[in-house]
Structure 1
Amino acid sequence: MSVKNKVAIAGVGSSRVGKVPDRTGLGLAAEAAKRAVEDAGIGWDEIDGLLTAYSMTEKYFMLGSVMCEYLGVRPKYAASMVVGGATPGVMLNHAAMAIAAGECSTVLIVIGENRKTGQTRDEAVAALTTVGHPNFENPYGPPMPALYGLVAQRHMYEFGTTSEHLASVAVTARYHASLNPEAQMRTPITVDDVLDSKMIAEPLHLLDCCLISDAAGAIIVTSAERARQLTTSPVYLRGISEFHTHEHVSMAGDLTHTGAEVSGRAAYEMAGVVPGDFDMAMLYDCFTIVPLIELEELGFVARGEAGEFFAEGRARLGGQLPVNTHGGMLSHAHAGAAGGLFDIIEASRQLRGECGERQVNGAELAVVHVEGGVLSSHCTLVLSNSR
Structure 2
Amino acid sequence: MGGLTKKAAIVGAYEHPGRLIPGKSTHEIQAECARHALAEAGLTNKDVDGFMTPSGIGMDAMNVAEYLGVQPDVFDSTQVGGSSFLLHVARATAAIAAGQAQVVLITYGSTARSGARAIGTGGAARPVINPWPDSFEAPYGGILAGMYATVASRHMHDYGTTKEQLANISVVTRRHASMNPDAMYRDPIAIDDVLASRMIAWPLKMLECCVISDGGGAIVVTSPERARDCKTRPVWVLGAGEGYRHLGRGKRDWTTIAAAQSGPSAMGMAGVTHKDIDHLMVYDSFTITVLTTLESLGFCKTGEGGSFVEGNRLAIDGELPMNTDGGGLSSNHPGMRGIFLIIEAVKQLRGDYEGTARQVKDCKISLCHGTGGMLGSRHSGVTLVLGRD
Give the TM-score of the pair, scaled to structure 1: 0.93
Measured on the aligned residues, the alpha-carbon RMSD in Å equals: 1.9
Counterparts in 2 of 1:54 and 1:174: CA distance versus 1, 3 Å: farther
Distance 2:129 2:207 in 1: 21
Contact 2:239 2:384 in 1 (8 A): yes
CA offset at residue 353 of structure 1?
A: 0.5
CA offset at residue 336 of structure 1?
A: 2.2
Greater mean deviation of Cα atoms: 343-352 or 30-39: 30-39
Amino acid of the residue matched to residue 19 of structure 2? Answer: G
Q: Which residue of 2 aligns with 1:167?
A: 167
Contact 2:238 2:387 in 1 (8 A): yes
CA offset at residue 169 of structure 1?
A: 0.6
Q: Which residue of 1 aligns with 2:26?
A: 25
Q: Secondary structure at the match of 2:333?
A: coil
Q: Which residue of 2 aligns with 1:384?
A: 387
Amino acid of the residue matched to residue 113 of structure 2? Answer: K
Contact 2:125 2:141 in 1 (8 A): no
CA offset at residue 75 of structure 1?
A: 1.1
Q: Secondary structure at the match of 2:320?
A: coil
1:86 is aligned, of 83, 89, 92, to 83
2:106 is aligned, of 100, 106, 109, to 109
Distance 1:324 1:191 in 2: 18
User: What does residue range 298-317 of structure 1 map to in structure 2 within 5 Å?
Assistant: 298-317=297-316
Distance 2:18 2:156 in 1: 33
Does residue 125 in structure 1 map to residue 122 in structure 2? yes
Q: Which residue of 2 aligns with 1:227?
A: 227
Contact 1:32 1:110 in 2 (8 A): yes
CA offset at residue 291 of structure 1?
A: 0.9
Amino acid of the residue matched to residue 149 of structure 1? Answer: A
Amino acid of the residue matched to residue 26 of structure 2? Answer: G
Amino acid of the residue matched to residue 196 of structure 1? Answer: A
Contact 1:132 1:142 in 2 (8 A): no
Distance 1:365 1:311 in 2: 23
Contact 1:146 1:201 in 2 (8 A): yes
Q: Which residue of 2 aligns with 1:372?
A: 372
Distance 2:287 2:119 in 1: 24
The one-character-per-residue Cα deviations of 1:282-302 (angstroms, maximum 9, x if unpaired) are 011000001111111112122
CA offset at residue 305 of structure 1?
A: 2.3
Greater mean deviation of Cα atoms: 343-352 or 69-78: 69-78
Distance 1:353 1:251 in 2: 47
Distance 1:50 1:251 in 2: 40
Counterparts in 2 of 1:29 and 1:2: CA distance versus 1, 3 Å: same
Q: Which residue of 1 aligns with 2:36?
A: 35
Distance 1:85 1:249 in 2: 21
Q: Which residue of 1 aligns with 2:347?
A: 349
Q: Which residue of 2 aligns with 1:266?
A: 265
Q: Secondary structure at the match of 2:228?
A: helix
Amino acid of the residue matched to residue 159 of structure 1? Answer: Y
Does residue 99 in structure 1 map to residue 96 in structure 2? yes
Contact 1:52 1:63 in 2 (8 A): no
CA offset at residue 14 of structure 1?
A: 1.3
Q: Which residue of 1 aligns with 2:181?
A: 181
Q: Which residue of 2 aligns with 1:71?
A: 68
Contact 2:12 2:232 in 1 (8 A): no
Amino acid of the residue matched to residue 384 of structure 1? Answer: G
Counterparts in 2 of 1:6 and 1:320: CA distance versus 1, 3 Å: same
CA offset at residue 249 of structure 1?
A: 5.7
Percent identity reads 42
Counterparts in 2 of 1:82 and 1:41: CA distance versus 1, 3 Å: same
Contact 1:239 1:271 in 2 (8 A): yes
Distance 1:122 1:345 in 2: 23
Contact 1:88 1:341 in 2 (8 A): yes
Q: Secondary structure at the match of 1:265?
A: helix
Q: Secondary structure at the match of 1:96?
A: helix
CA offset at residue 73 of structure 1?
A: 1.2
Counterparts in 2 of 1:176 and 1:127: CA distance versus 1, 3 Å: same
Amino acid of the residue matched to residue 41 of structure 1? Answer: G
Distance 1:123 1:289 in 2: 14
* Structure 1: stretches of 5+ with no match in the other structure: none
Tell me the number of residue pairs that the alignment of Structure 1 and Structure 2 aligns.
380
Contact 1:249 1:374 in 2 (8 A): no
Distance 1:251 1:11 in 2: 45
CA offset at residue 128 of structure 1?
A: 6.3
User: What does residue range 182-201 of structure 1 map to in structure 2 within 5 Å?
Assistant: 182-201=182-201
Contact 1:131 1:143 in 2 (8 A): no
CA offset at residue 259 of structure 1?
A: 2.2
User: What does residue range 313-352 of structure 1 map to in structure 2 within 5 Å?
Assistant: 313-337=312-336, 339-352=337-350
CA offset at residue 322 of structure 1?
A: 0.6
* Structure 2: stretches of 5+ with no match in the other structure: none
Counterparts in 2 of 1:191 and 1:10: CA distance versus 1, 3 Å: same
Q: Secondary structure at the match of 1:366?
A: strand
CA offset at residue 117 of structure 1?
A: 0.7
Structure holding more helix per residue: 1
User: What does residue range 201-280 of structure 1 map to in structure 2 within 5 Å?
Assistant: 201-246=201-246, 248=247, 250=249, 254-280=253-279
CA offset at residue 272 of structure 1?
A: 0.7
